[in-house]
Amino acid sequence: MRRLEQAIGGISFRSPLVIGAGPLSDRPDLIERAAACGAGAVSIKQTAWSEPRPGVRKMYAQKGECFFNPSDRRLKPEAAARLIYQVRQVTDIPLLVNILGSGGDAETWVQLGEQMEQAGADGLELNFACPNPPAQKDAAGQNLRYGAALSQEPDLAGAIIRAITEKVSIPVWVKFSGDGTDTPALCRAAAAAGAAGVTAFCSPRGAFPIDIEQGGRPKLADLSVCSFGGINGPAIRPASNRVVAEAAQAVPGLPVMGGGGISRVEHVVETIMYGASLTFLFTQVMLEGFEVLTKLNQQLEAFLDCHGYENVEEMRGLALRYLVPNSELDYRIGRPARIDPRKCRGCGTCGKIAFCRAIQMEGKTAQVQPRLCESCGLCASLCPFDAISFDDDPEGGD
């Protein structure tokens, strides 16, 4: 596992796979299991300065699609301190504590951060990400800026980060929501305020899954009403890559912990190639068990071997060199699609593309009329047998 190690901000992560804050990190037995299965670190469940009402844990999974949660229990500071103490008896896995102060009141964030440092946390992860804020008002009756709302205010976020980094000596990560956030501005503010890194992308808000046979009732157990809530899992993968890449490009020296919808080793590699040094997982581990970490670590090592990379760092950011602003795309129409008759199995998938006039099925193979092809690329991405390309014919045919 040495090749998977990442040393960042004084913490040695023995693997780039980190358990994202949530219900997998609020009990000692869970964290012990994460450590035994090869997690590089654990982000302990959100620890809140104040709990205006008891949290309730509600979750709904559509496997392969999304993991929806409108609400969860939070930890009180004393419970988080006890948890750190208990975990320390059994494992030395690095522990970040995901903390949530009271709105934009920096002092509450500082006090919470100091408490967690004294309790033995290896690092803090400031929660500017929670999509499920309780409806709280400040003294003037204004809604408190809470969780994800702080991602939309880089100046305020920067002031909170600065207040904490001046007071604690452990590394401070900033977990932010990519939902409507100016990622570059937030990352610049985080770097200027002394953050050790940023964590992205957390749970954009979605509407709850409903039972259409029951007149649109929420599909969440025991709930007759439901609010909007965080979406996690596969549904957020492409958006997550976008936010990770934005963060990596915004401040190249600022480490990124990237995730959102990671379920396979390819996703781990993608996230690293988009610029992340570490990755975080929640949904996949929740649904498949901690053993998935062991498998992913093994597969990641095998990927490094197979592609000749010495370590994770060598892959980091490789995809960024291909990323240009939309205005700089190459607008020429390229070569027409070419179907390799030796690979085509006549499955008909490409022939069904509704807008395309270029592909016809002829007997058991598909044929392209080059003059009608716009070279859009869709058929090649859909062909299950990799039979479509846009290269010159290697054998010189037409």
The binding track of 119-158 with respect to ligand FMN, each residue x by CB under 6 A or -, is --------x-x-----------------------------
Cβ atoms 41, 96 nearer than 8 A? yes
* Sequence letter at residue 350: C
Cβ atoms 370, 358 nearer than 8 A? yes
Which residues in the 178-237 window bind ligand FMN by CB under 6 A? 202-203, 230, 232-233, 236
Q: Is 370 in the site for ligand SF4 (CB under 6 A)?
A: no
Q: Is 347 in the site for ligand SF4 (CB under 6 A)?
A: yes
Q: Measure Cα distances from 49 to 46, 202, 254 in Å.
A: 10, 20, 27
Q: Is 248 in the site for ligand FMN (CB under 6 A)?
A: no
Q: Which of 77, 259, 275, 317 binds ligand FMN (CB under 6 A)?
A: 259
Nearer to ligand FMN, 284 or 297 (CB): 284
DSSP labels, 70-123: EE---B-HHHHHHHHHHHHTT----EEEEEE-STT-HHHHHHHHHHHHHHT-SE
Q: Is 45 in the site for ligand FMN (CB under 6 A)?
A: yes
Q: Which of 3, 5, 9, 23 binds ligand FMN (CB under 6 A)?
A: 23
Q: Is 338 in the site for ligand SF4 (CB under 6 A)?
A: no
Closest CB 329 distance from ligand SF4, rounded Å: 16
Nearer to ligand SF4, 307 or 357 (CB): 357
Residue 18 DSSP symbol: E
The alpha carbon of 85 is separated from its chain's Cα centroid by a whole number of angstroms, namely 28
Q: Is 367 in the site for ligand SF4 (CB under 6 A)?
A: no
Q: Is 348 in the site for ligand SF4 (CB under 6 A)?
A: yes
**Two tokens at 127?**
């929660």
The alpha carbon of 346 is separated from its chain's Cα centroid by a whole number of angstroms, namely 38
DSSP labels, 116-163: HHHHT-SEEEEEE--S-----B-TTSPBPP-GGGGGG-HHHHHHHHHH
Which residues in the 378-397 window bind ligand SF4 by CB under 6 A? 378-379, 383, 385, 387-388
Binding site for ligand SF4 (CB under 6 A): 337, 339, 344-350, 353, 356, 358-359, 366, 368, 373-379, 383, 385, 387-388
